[in-house]
């Protein structure tokens, strides 16, 4: 499927969905070869297909059914075994897909060539490839087995598969043309990707919110508008928290729903303190509303221009701190196989305004052009980004993750010299690449030789000779920094060990609070995380955590491993930022109680300071399923225990806090 691409002026060309515009697309062998061969294992025979209804709907009904699937994001599964609307015919998988299968699933969904991937699955099971055959029900069952094996898509029962077949057999002829199969393929992958019942970690707590966004938020002001929507500053009506609300039009003529979905998936996958955090989204009939951090320090570009207007230069130490955080964030993104592709000074935001607010805290934003890449296909083809920071290989339409290193090098040059390294007077790729080969005017860089050396390496023309983000972080320019371990008191690590002794319910609650912790409240926790993440890859390994424990004299190896396992909620072998934050929140009691109160107010619908049982069910809706995976106690039993002895079936804030906020216990239970 040809996806929308961003023009150099920032707008996008509308996407076209290949199968809708090409009637002869069923047997596109040339496309299959260019996309690479997918080798799938032989499958066992499936019983004969059930009798299907042959009566065909009219053309208007066919179009209506196609549009229903094409122009909406997947509905999030709310309860185990049930779903909203039309997604309910495939049950939630009993076992979560492996980390590898889930990564592969996200890569396929975000792949600009997803149509070719679907075509390979389709062609593999065609009964007669040479004559342009179509998939019957038995053939579809084989495809579903392939999707289950390779991408973790749950295998439906025979009855559910029959319903699935009928729903996407738009013309009712008892077969699936590729156009129909492609809609089924994308819908099945979407449903699995957004199925909260199999999620672990921060993804559990970030999803589509019910209702209308403006019923929940006051619109304070509009921050900016563009071709595809607007960004607003909003304040939650019950908690008074401010958030940026990005409103994106989802019509095919403006921005395809697949592009919005890709941005959501990328943001869901990333959990780093210097990458913009998504807190949820709302869906209207024509608009998707993304809820994100309100970063009030402005863009890096604004800060640099303001400093220039005062006649003062930017201190090299400040620039080094900014670049270190940018590189850490992007090294993490690359480890998650995400390329930003539009890194520039306007997409680096400051948490606080001004140069006199202490150390800078920066956040990478705008993942709308970002691409996820697979290990088998690590190169991108769709040109996009901003001309002044686009790498030579992006202009050529054949790029990898190191294109972001070039863009970061342009930002570094700007901070060190006060101007951009390259500026052509046209949008002709040849003009820009000629400048790239010649190189910038290095005489404008009047800072240290080490800073200039790093910048020169990052702006190496050939990406094969350019260092990776991780290699840049090892440059001598960043070596003159205090020993991180010497700054970390032992009692902070005690709280991590106390976390593993808390009940399953309380640990799940800490995880939700950490997942929704605004960056402007988290600077102390971010500092701890960065101190312990010695290799700056955005995740904390068991070895890093155990070394930290040993350094401060906590040498019980069994307890170290138990602590790591309790913190590693998604079982991927690395502690993400949110998993680490959940563990250390016990050491920041003021912050913990403040965020608990915010969570309480969000669910106190009538603002009376009490939660009814339905309100409490909503309060714990995302926490209980996570706790249930460890301690098999039904939500009903848990709620009965919470409300035991309550007056008039209501729980006050103080009562709920005393029952749910953690205090260390030795035995792991649900309470």
How many Cβ atoms are within 10 Å of 638's Cβ, its own excluded? Answer: 20
pLDDT at position 197 is: 65
**What is the band of 383 on the pLDDT scale with cuts at 50, 70, 90?**
confident
Of 175, 98, 171, 96, give the one whose Cα is nearest residue 134.
175
Is pLDDT at 544 greater than 90 in this prediction? no
User: If you write DSSP's letter for every residue of 83-133 in order, what string do you get?
Assistant: -SGGGGGSPPPSSPPPHHHHHHHHHHHT-TTHHHHHHHHHHHT-S-TTTT-
Of 56, 137, 114, 468, give the one whose Cα is nearest residue 262.
114
Least confident of 71-75, 118-122, 184-188, 627-631: 71-75
CA–CA gap between residue 569 and residue 507 (Å, rounded): 10
The answer to whether 533 and 470 are in contact (CB under 8 A) is no
Last residue of one domain, picked from the residues 293, 328, 360: 293
Between strands 362-364 and 348-350, the pairing is: antiparallel
Partner residues linked to 363 by β-bridges: 349
CA–CA gap between residue 504 and residue 105 (Å, rounded): 29
The answer to whether residues 129 and 275 belong to one domain is: no
Report the number of distinct structural domains present in the chain: 4
CA 255 to chain centre: 19
pLDDT at position 437 is: 93
The answer to whether 362 and 274 are in contact (CB under 8 A) is yes
The answer to whether residues 511 and 634 belong to one domain is: yes
**What is the band of 115 on the pLDDT scale with cuts at 50, 70, 90?**
confident
CA–CA gap between residue 333 and residue 128 (Å, rounded): 43
Buried-exposed string 461-492: b where 16+ CB fall within 10 A, e elsewhere: eebeebbbbbebbebebbeeeeeeeeebeeeb
Written as six digits, the tokens of 277 are 């955090």
CA–CA gap between residue 294 and residue 239 (Å, rounded): 15
Task: Measure Cα distances from 465 to 179, 331, 359, 424, 534 in Å.
Answer: 43, 17, 32, 24, 25
The answer to whether 592 and 497 are in contact (CB under 8 A) is no
The answer to whether residues 266 and 225 belong to one domain is: yes
Partner residues linked to 575 by β-bridges: 540
The answer to whether 520 and 311 are in contact (CB under 8 A) is no
CA 477 to chain centre: 31
The answer to whether residues 270 and 392 belong to one domain is: no
Q: Is residue 438 part of a domain?
A: yes
Partner residues linked to 82 by β-bridges: 79
- Could you read off the pLDDT of 548-593 as tens digits, one per residue? 877 767 777 887 888 888 888 878 888 999 999 998 888 888 999 9
The answer to whether residues 536 and 624 belong to one domain is: yes
Q: Is residue 670 part of a domain?
A: no
Is pLDDT at 380 greater than 70 in this prediction? yes
The mean of the pLDDT values for the chain is 79
Partner residues linked to 176 by β-bridges: 135
Query: Based on the number of CB atoms within 10 Å of its own CB, is 390 exposed (0-12), middle (13-18) or buried (19 or more)?
Result: buried
Q: Is residue 2 part of a domain?
A: no
The answer to whether 620 and 602 are in contact (CB under 8 A) is no
The answer to whether residues 322 and 471 belong to one domain is: yes
List for the chain the helix, strand, coil content (%; round to 5).
45, 10, 40
Last residue of one domain, picked from the residues 198, 222, 246: 198
The answer to whether 291 and 231 are in contact (CB under 8 A) is no
Flag whether 33 is marked binding: no
pLDDT at position 461 is: 96
CA–CA gap between residue 141 and residue 177 (Å, rounded): 15
DSSP three-state, residue 462: coil
Asked whether the CA dihedral 609, 612, 618, 624 is positive or negative, the reply is positive
The answer to whether residues 546 and 406 belong to one domain is: no
pLDDT at position 5 is: 37
**What is the band of 52 on the pLDDT scale with cuts at 50, 70, 90?**
very low
The answer to whether residues 210 and 150 belong to one domain is: no
pLDDT at position 374 is: 67
Buried-exposed string 435-450: b where 16+ CB fall within 10 A, e elsewhere: ebeeebeeeebebeeb
The answer to whether residues 519 and 653 belong to one domain is: yes
The answer to whether residues 491 and 392 belong to one domain is: no
Is pLDDT at 44 greater than 90 in this prediction? no
HSE at residue 588, side-chain half, CA atoms within 13 A, is 21
Q: Would you mind telling me the total number of residues written for the chain in this entry?
A: 671
Written as six digits, the tokens of 237 are 């009506």
CA–CA gap between residue 323 and residue 388 (Å, rounded): 18
CA–CA gap between residue 622 and residue 629 (Å, rounded): 12
Give the DSSP H/E element, type plus range, for residue 490.
helix 490-499
Query: Based on the number of CB atoms within 10 Å of its own CB, is 172 exposed (0-12), middle (13-18) or buried (19 or more)?
Result: middle
For residue 590, the enclosing domain spans 487-660
CA–CA gap between residue 671 and residue 654 (Å, rounded): 17
The answer to whether residues 105 and 60 belong to one domain is: yes
Task: Measure Cα distances from 398 to 155, 339, 403, 456, 463 in Å.
Answer: 37, 13, 10, 22, 11
Of 96, 230, 210, 236, give the one whose Cα is nearest residue 516.
236
How many Cβ atoms are within 10 Å of 313's Cβ, its own excluded? Answer: 15
Mean pLDDT of the 209-225 span? 93
CATH number, position 538? 1.10.238.10
CATH number, position 426? 1.10.510.10
Compute φ and ψ for 602, nearest 5 degrees.
Answer: -60, -30
- Could you read off the pLDDT of 491-500 as tens digits, one per residue? 666 777 778 7
Of 666, 665, 663, 644, give the one whose Cα is nearest residue 655.
644
Is pLDDT at 487 greater than 60 in this prediction? no
pLDDT at position 95 is: 56
Last residue of one domain, picked from the residues 275, 293, 311: 293
Is pLDDT at 279 greater than 70 in this prediction? yes
What's the CA dihedral at 496, 497, 501, 507 to 10 degrees?
10
The answer to whether residues 174 and 58 belong to one domain is: yes
How many Cβ atoms are within 10 Å of 189's Cβ, its own excluded? Answer: 22
End-to-end CA distance of the chain: 50
Of 324, 341, 420, give the one whose Cα is nearest residue 383.
341
CA–CA gap between residue 134 and residue 443 (Å, rounded): 65
CATH number, position 226? 3.30.200.20
Least confident of 59-68, 115-124, 374-383, 527-536: 59-68
- Could you read off the pLDDT of 345-370 as tens digits, one per residue? 999 999 988 776 678 999 999 887 77
Own/partner pairs for 447-456, CB < 8 Å, 24+ apart? 447/316, 447/319, 447/416, 448/316, 448/477, 450/475, 450/476, 450/477, 451/316, 451/319, 451/320, 451/412, 451/416, 451/477, 452/416, 453/477, 454/412, 455/409, 455/412, 455/413, 455/416
Partner residues linked to 650 by β-bridges: 612, 647
Of 372, 253, 284, give the one whose Cα is nearest residue 11.
253
How many Cβ atoms are within 10 Å of 270's Cβ, its own excluded? Answer: 23
CA–CA gap between residue 350 and residue 511 (Å, rounded): 26
């Amino acid at each position: 499927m040809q996806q929308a691409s961003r023009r150099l002026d920032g707008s996008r060309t509308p996407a076209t969905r290949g199968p809708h515009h090409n009637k002869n697309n069923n047997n596109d062998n040339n496309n299959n070869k260019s996309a690479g061969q997918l080798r799938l294992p032989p499958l066992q025979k499936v019983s004969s297909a059930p009798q299907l209804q042959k009566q065909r709907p009219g053309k208007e009904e066919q179009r209506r059914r196609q549009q229903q699937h094409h122009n909406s994001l997947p509905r999030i599964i709310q309860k185990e075994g049930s779903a909203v609307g039309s997604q309910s015919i495939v049950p939630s998988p009993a076992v979560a897909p492996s980390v590898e299968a889930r990564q592969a699933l996200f890569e396929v969904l975000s792949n600009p060539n997803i149509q070719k991937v679907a075509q390979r699955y389709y062609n593999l099971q065609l009964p007669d490839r040479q004559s342009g055959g179509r998939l019957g029900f038995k053939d579809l069952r084989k495809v579903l087995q392939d999707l289950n094996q390779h991408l973790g898509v749950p295998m439906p029962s025979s009855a559910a598969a029959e319903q699935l077949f009928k729903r996407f057999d738009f013309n009712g002829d008892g077969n699936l043309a590729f156009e129909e199969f492609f809609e089924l393929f994308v819908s099945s992958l979407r449903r699995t990707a957004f199925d909260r019942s199999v999620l672990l970690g921060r993804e559990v707590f970030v999803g589509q919110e019910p209702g209308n966004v403006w019923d929940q938020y006051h619109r304070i002001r509009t921050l900016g508008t563009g071709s595809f929507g607007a960004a607003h500053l909003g304040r939650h009506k019950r908690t008074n928290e401010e958030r940026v609300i990005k409103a994106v039009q989802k019509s095919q003529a403006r921005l395809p729903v697949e592009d919005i979905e890709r941005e959501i998936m990328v943001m869901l996958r990333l959990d780093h303190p210097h990458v913009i955090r998504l807190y949820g989204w709302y869906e209207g009939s024509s608009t998707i509303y993304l809820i994100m951090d309100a970063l009030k320090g402005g863009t890096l570009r604004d800060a640099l221009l303001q400093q220039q207007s005062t006649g003062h230069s930017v201190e090299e130490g400040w620039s080094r701190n900014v670049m270190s955080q940018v590189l850490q964030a992007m090294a993490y993104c690359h480890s998650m196989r995400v390329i930003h592709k539009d890194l520039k000074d306007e997409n680096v935001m400051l948490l606080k305004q001004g140069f006199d607010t202490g150390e800078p805290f920066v956040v990478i934003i705008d993942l709308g052009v970002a691409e996820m890449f697979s290990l088998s296909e690590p190169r991108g083809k769709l040109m996009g980004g901003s001309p002044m920071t686009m790498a030579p290989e992006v202009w050529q339409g054949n790029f990898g993750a190191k294109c972001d290193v070039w863009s970061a090098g342009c930002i570094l040059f700007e901070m060190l010299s006060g101007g951009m390294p390259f500026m052509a007077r046209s949008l002709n790729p040849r003009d820009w690449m000629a400048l790239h080969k010649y190189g910038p005017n290095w005489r404008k860089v009047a800072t240290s030789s080490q800073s200039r050396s790093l910048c020169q390496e990052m702006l190496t023309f050939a990406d094969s000779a350019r260092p990776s983000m991780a290699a840049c972080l090892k440059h001598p320019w960043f070596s003159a920094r205090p020993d991180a371990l010497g700054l970390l008191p032992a009692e902070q690590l005690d709280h991590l060990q106390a976390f593993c002794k808390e009940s399953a319910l309380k640990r799940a609650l800490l995880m939700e609070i950490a997942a929704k912790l605004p960056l402007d409240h988290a600077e102390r926790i971010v500092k701890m995380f960065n101190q312990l993440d010695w290799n700056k890859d955005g995740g904390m390994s068991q070895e890093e955590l155990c070394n930290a424990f040993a350094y401060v004299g906590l040498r019980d190896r069994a307890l170290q491993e138990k602590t790591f396992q309790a913190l590693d909620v998604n079982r991927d072998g690395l502690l993400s930022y949110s998993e680490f934050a959940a563990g250390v929140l016990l050491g920041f009691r003021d912050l913990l109680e403040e965020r608990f109160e915010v969570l309480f107010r969000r669910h106190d619908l009538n603002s009376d300071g009490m939660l009814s049982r339905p309100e409490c069910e909503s309060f714990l809706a995302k926490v209980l399923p996570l706790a249930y995976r460890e301690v098999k106690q039904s939500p009903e039993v848990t709620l009965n225990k919470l409300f035991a002895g309550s007056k008039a079936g209501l729980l006050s804030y103080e009562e709920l806090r005393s029952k749910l906020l953690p205090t260390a216990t030795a035995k792991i239970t649900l309470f």
